[in-house]
A and B are shown apart, each in its own frame.
Chain A
Amino acid sequence: MKIVVCIKQVPDTKGGVKFNPDGTLDRASMMTIMNPDDKAGLEAALRLKDEYGAEVTVLTMGLPKAEEVLREAIAMGADKGVLVTDRVLGGADTWATSQTLAGALRNMEYDLIITGRQAIDGDTAQVGPQISEHLNIPVISYAQNLKVEGDSVIVERQFDDRYHVLKAKMPCLITALAELNEPRYMTPGGIFDAYKAEITVWGRADLKDVEDSNLGLKGSPTQIAKASDKVRKGSGEVVTLDPAEAASYITGKLAEKHVI
């Protein structure tokens, strides 16, 4: 079985968030981590590898320094890493990103593609399902459990107050939730091996069956009107009242703000 896991290097929010003048994230100057949902997706792939002997390739699109996240994945147990990087791909929204990744995936062999549900820097949850559309394969999103049975995957899909059990024939795409598992740590020896591993680097010319008009900032229909760091909320108001008084106090406040 061949599994491709799409991972993303995202800002480590502990280190603060910075923006470029055009409103996109200034990724080059921020501390970074592997996106948590993607890490759970990678762990799911590695568990399938442990159980069935799959080959796991990690794929990312980003700045040249996104190579670090591929090495981290290899240090956890992935077999190969592919970095798609090119100036013309910069500033991509979910549409241009999914087009780019699909263009790369058309060059690759896979039975299963796993992406994280969403990245903590954009929180759109669109890229995974869009890739499946571009590649014309089934998608099961929000996977909280995953197993393989013959040539199919059986997935528990999280859904409000319950979950759905869905079966799909491979090749297919799964989007993983961070709750799917507890990702393993890298191993010390794995880190040193990862830095010896060769990372495949692709540019625009290596992407298959993708129009220029669908790539980079120019190919991104999303227009960012304004971006800013999260506005800190005040500390709020704490009152100590008995339950009846508290209820009328809260309803009074809600009425004052025309919520009710």
Chain B
Amino acid sequence: MAAFSKKEEEGLSSYYNNKTTIIQEARVFNESPISPRKCRALLTRIVYLLYIGESFGTQEATTLFFGTTKLFQHKDSALRQMVYLSIKELAVSAEDVIMVTSSIMKDMQPNSEVIYRPNAIRALCRIIDPSMVQGVERFFKAAIVDRTPSISSAALVSSYHLFPFAKDVAKRWVNEAQEAVNAKSSSGLFSSSTAGSYLGFGSSTSTNSGYQPMPSTSYIAQYHALGLLYLIRRQDRMAVTKMIQQLGGGKSGSGTALKNPMALSMLIRYAAKVVEEDPNVQKQMLDLLEIWLRHKSDMVNFEAARAICEMKNVPSAQLTKAIAVLQLFLSSPKPTLRFAATRCLASLALTQPASVATCNVDLENLISDSNRSVATYAITTLLKTGNEASVDRLMKQITGFMSEISDEFKVIIVDAIRSLCLKFPTKHVSMLGFLSGVLRDEGGYDFKRAVVEAIFDMIKYIGESKEQALSHLCEFIEDCEFTKLSVRILYLLGIEGPKAPQPSKYIRFIYNRVVLENATVRAAAVASLAKFGIIDDTKLKKSIGVLLNRCLDDVDDEVRDRAALYLKVIEEPPLAETYVKDDSVFSLSALESKLVAYVRDADAASQPFDVSSVPKVSREQAAQEVARKSLLFFISPSLYGHLGPSSLDTIGAPVTRTTTPAPPPQTTEVTQSSFVQQLAQVPELASYGALINSSKPSQLTENETEYQVSCVKHIFRGHIVFQFNVSNTMPDTILEQVSVIMQPPVDSGLTEDFIIPVPVLSSASSPGIVYVSFTRESPDEYATASFPCLLKFISKEVDPATGEPEVEGYEDEYQLEEVELAAGGDYIIPSYSNFSSEWDRLRTGASITETFTLSSMESIKAACDSIVEILNMEPLGGSQNAAPGTTVHTLQLSGLLTGGGGKILARCRMTFSKGEGVTLEVGVRGEKQEACHLVIAAIGG
């Protein structure tokens, strides 16, 4: 059967598809006498050829076109109708088509009562030259107001096609179009031609009277006429407004002449357009729209409801009525109506979820709609309008039809649920149940990934769901065909598993992977297992050791290597801390800028890249950085706002979380690398080598002063460069030879090299940069000092008439605030580390302990804040947030001493008593003795 139908299709298509045959057969047009049946069949094949995608060349089309014109001699209406269709289709590619105008005109004559007269009228607009339209104006005017609707429609459609090419002429047909719009009735139009024969076959005897069309009941000519009227008047808003009011039919709407629903729909669109351009008419247009909401045609109701929903600033009373109409459509048996209504409501829900919520019950019934588009619109709407109470029911209904829909829709729904989880965290049980259910269903990678990521999100953001979610994931990897997903889940199990109350239950699942899976998954499983090996539980440790030992025999070298590495490392706690547990990563932006500087500097290549100078951040910080960027993209902003800071805080609560205050590390790194570029342009500084650190700018003047100065300190190996950004805020004064005089304290260990002044500084060229360079007498020491600074310049006033500065200025000075060269910010930068292990490791290194009395501190919290600020070190484990009212506290700090100074850790133990303030015992451990001195000196100073 299949073979037969295929053969049949080929047979037909080769018969119809053969262009050459058809062109040859076109000689049938020249036969005499003409055979109408044969000619009509051939014309059909020509048109059909075009409809299945064939195209004719200009020459071929022209030949065929003029072949068909021969058929004008024949009176057979069945043939002539097909001739007109062929002319329309061939006119696109044929040449000189204008030649047949007169033949067509003949058929357009009002006295010819033939079936093909409308066809002739509609074909005319395809072949006529715009300049000739004037010549046929009379015919058009007469045809538009013809009492036969098909002729009137044809003339209106034809004029509509012609309008853009012959605007001036077509504009004059406005009265005729107006008359066609107002045509009261189409009855009695066929009185002349209804004298059919008694027996019903007599009519075929006469060639010309085969025209017995049924009277149209659609009043469609009104639609065409209105379209033409609007085209003529569309530039004139007043005229359009007037037309809407005239045709709108007054207060009750009963006075309207428009009976065609499509015409009314167009009128509604024009009304909406007018309101969009002129909000003043909104009130009166809304009144009309409200009437049309009650029209007997669904099409008109819908058009009006949609117009109201899409309009800006609609009073809620009208909006409610429009929504009520759409709500009725939701339970219609026709898919098209349901589609239209849900689509409209879905877009309205974006802006007015509360108003749409009244339809929730009806929308819920549509979740299982046979038209999947309707179901998807319904769900997306519900997810925007739904409240907490309806979530469970929604879940149950979605579960019911998940198996019936395609993966593409499933992904949309899972994503919607994912955002719903975050919106209603208390509903996590039912949502997790749903997600784990669909995870077991059949599905492709994209769908499974969407589900797994949704569960990841729940683990991350909803603490209570964690255990349950992890066990669902464990089950999933038992039978997961996607390596990528298995690896991700194994990694997550390695992170989250050891923190769970019962870590041992995950180990079985992970080890199963080692036994059953491919090499990639096995390697991931080994890494994940090792994470359980560092839990403080000897029994567990032993079991992990046994399991890892077995992996040493694996066929894949990566798996063996990992197993061997982890076996060794787990035995030695300090190594395990770094290689297994290690929860800090390099600050990627810092690493990047350091590497860029290293690569650019040719001299640096002789030494290996010093990785210890790159600050580290904790995994949470890194994840937050990524999340901060991505969250806004993946979850809609409104939802993100809904999450708020409180829920973000709970994310990090169970683990050590360190909050960096406002400026994220990236921005400082960005400025750092821009400083490198900027300094590279100063020739005097070229020999200084790599830039070790740049401080944040500090303001040396008040904001409102005439001269504004800020200072950035750049630390090099052997030099310190002070960069003063000087701004002149007075437009009528220019400053010349601007320099900053710094007076270093006597024993600071710094000697001044040179000052690079700014020759001329006007308000337009501000800010200018003054550099002051010092040599560090002993680069291994970290000189700290405060410098009194003086801004020196020659001030010249500008003649407002000429714009020229006066010749003689006067020297002036301006006292700046002191510049501090201090430990924190200039030498020490914050870096994350694991305090307890590092503190133990540095036991043998340099160490100083000293006690201070900070009598001016009013609380432990204030002391913490100021210590963090002074030292510019990273507080660890949330220890900077001392509980209010506490009297004993320990602050743990970690940092890096720039320029190869290594790590510094500080443990600040504080007691507080009223009256005496805070007593502080600072213990500092570092890799170098100078580092410890520096810290103590910074606090002491």
Asked if chains A and B come from one complex, the reply is no
